Amino acid sequence: MRSGAAVRTKILSIAAAAALLAPWTAMGDSSTADDRIAVSADGSTLTGTNGGAGASLGWLHNFDAASLAGVAVEYQDLSTARWTFGSVNGSLTRGPDDQRYSVYGEAHEGAGDDGPRAFRYAIESAGVIGTYFRRLSAQLEDREINVDNIHGNLPKAGLSYLWGPHLLTSASYSYSVSGNLGTRLTTARIDEYNASVNFLAGIAFGQASPIVVGTVSNLPVILAQAHKLKEGYVGMSKDLPHLRSGVTFVADYQDLSGFKRITLTLSYIFHVGHTGTAK
């Protein structure tokens, strides 16, 4: 459930996953430390180009069931653009089980180039999530984006509801308030949790800068103008207890004013230490 990048539900994004998992992992019965190594790889197609690929490596540490921090490094290329960035993130949850609050922050800093032209890559965000009655969560977040010549703030408001141990639904709305992002985006998602395999599916629609949906500066369009986005994605994840790990696969389709992109992402998370309750 992650940023403009969260729109893509990029499971490989360690920071976004860490932030949104905090309210639910905080419901564990005990506070145990846990370390995880996350590795991911993805490949994309894009209209009129050779597409691209990427990979990431991250580390997540639960100090206990209510506090988490992580670092990651990621490389991506798409069409003529390529960029590398490092990430840091953290979250802290406090309060009784029926009224918990999580504050979180993340930062992605790096650089890239679009052929002969170099650009800076910087995205930072901070937010708060309140979880009530163990089922309803409300999220407020502000994300600052500075990538190439695109910049601005993108506040987001979201709601999630846990219908039972097996079904979670969520929705959010993002609206840029400064700069030239030109984004007004609505998202919805459903997660189903089962004993063997978990499933997820989601949609996004509205208008957005290519930066927000993760294509950086490689599209041959005027990025400061708003573009119509239609997106749909499906995925599945499976725990592998005998290997102390889990695997996630996501297929994502985007249509940004006629530029169509398909991305397949595979991520693998390995528990280094005691798994405890912080999965």
- Identify the pLDDT of residue 23: 37
CA 19, CA 102: separation in Å to the nearest integer?
A: 8
Confidence of residue 214 (pLDDT cuts 50, 70, 90): low
Domain positions in the chain are: 4-271
**Structure confidence at residue 160 (pLDDT):** 97
For the ranges 39-53, 153-167, 176-190, 203-217, which has the lowest average pLDDT? 203-217
Q: Could you say which DSSP state residue 15 is in?
A: H
Evaluate if residue 72 carries a pLDDT over 50: yes
Q: What is the pLDDT at residue 80?
A: 85
In the prediction, which pLDDT does 274 show? Answer: 58
Q: Are 234 and 200 in contact (CB under 8 A)?
A: yes
Q: Which residue has the tokens 């979180």?
A: 104
Tens digits of per-residue pLDDT, 83-106?
A: 999 999 999 999 998 899 999 999
Q: Inform me whether the pLDDT recorded for 2 exceeds 90.
A: no
Please choose, from the candidates 233, 222, 225, the residue with its C-alpha nearest in 3D space to the C-alpha of residue 191.
233
Predicted confidence (pLDDT) per residue in 224-267, tens digit: 455 888 999 999 999 999 999 999 999 999 998 888 899 999 99
Q: In the CATH scheme, what is the code of domain 4-271?
A: 2.40.160.40
Other C-beta atoms closer than 10 Å to the C-beta of 172 total 21
Is the pLDDT score of 278 beyond 60?
no
Query: Rounded to two decimals, what is the model's pTM?
Result: 0.83
- Whole-number average pLDDT of the chain: 83
Q: What is the pLDDT of residues 179-197, one digit of tens each?
A: 888 899 999 999 999 999 9
